[in-house]
Structure 1
C-alpha cells in the first residue's frame, strides 16, 4: 500500500491502519440552491428533504431518521442538486467551491451554517509491513517540512482553504 488517502478523526478504521498527521480539517455543510428557503440550524432541520452524500461517509448510520442518497463523487451530487433531483448536499465547501469555479460557474448555490460535522483528513497506511511504516514516517516528515516552509499557507490561499493548518 503506497498510502491511501482516507478520512479519520483520530480513529483506527480497521485493524493495522495508522494515520498521518492531520492534513486538513474538513467542515461538512449543507449546500442548497440559492433560491431554496430551508430553515437550518441543526441536521434534524433537514428531516423532510432528500439529501445527497458521497457514499462511505456513514451519515445514514449516525442520522437514521434522514433520507440520504449516496453517490460516488461530490461532482455527481452537485449535478443532481442543480437538476433538482435532490434538495440538499452535505459536503466540504472547499470541494464544492472548486467544482463550481471550474465547471459550474453559471450555477448559484449557498452554503448553510453551522457545519454538520468537522472531520480530519489524513493519509492512512498499513502498520504491518516495515516498508509502509517507513513511508508513514517519511510522509509525516514531509508534512512538517511544508508547514515550516509556508507551503500550507500558499495552498490555503490558492484553494480558499480556511481550515488548513
Structure 2
C-alpha cells in the first residue's frame, strides 16, 4: 500500500441496502468492496442489535473476515430520527418509537433526548460486551452529547 497508515472503510447494511435486490446481492456487493481493498466495514445505523449479529454471521458465512464495526445513532430528536430512518431504510422497534412519542408529548424534546441517549448507552454496552470490535457513532454534529455518552460508558461498569 502506498499509505500504510491509512485504512479504507466500506459501508455495510444490517437491514439491507434500500436499493439492494435481495440480502444475498447486498452481501455480494459488500464482499466485492472488501475484495477491492476495503479494510473494514462500518454499518448503517440500527436499533436492534440482533440485526448486527445476524449481519455479521451472514458475512462470515460468505468468507468476509474483516472487522465489522456497528454504527449507532443516539436519538436526539424525534423529528430528526424519523427523517433519517425514511432516508436510509433502517427501522426502529415499535416499542421504542412509542416511548419516544410519549416522551415528546409529555415532557418535550429534552425527554426524547434523554431516552435516546439512554437507549444508545445500553445498545453500545451490549454490543461491546458481546464482542463487537468497536462502535461508530453517528453524531449528527452533537459531539458534546456523544462525548458524555462515551465517558459514561467507559467510566461505568457494565
Same fold (TM over 0.5): no
| Short-chain TM bin | under 0.3
Structure (1/2) with the larger helix percentage: 2
User: Which of 1 and 2 has higher RCO (CA within 8 Å, sep 6+)?
Assistant: 1
Larger radius of gyration: 1
Q: TM-score with structure 1 length normalisation? A: 0.23
Q: TM-score with structure 2 length normalisation? A: 0.24
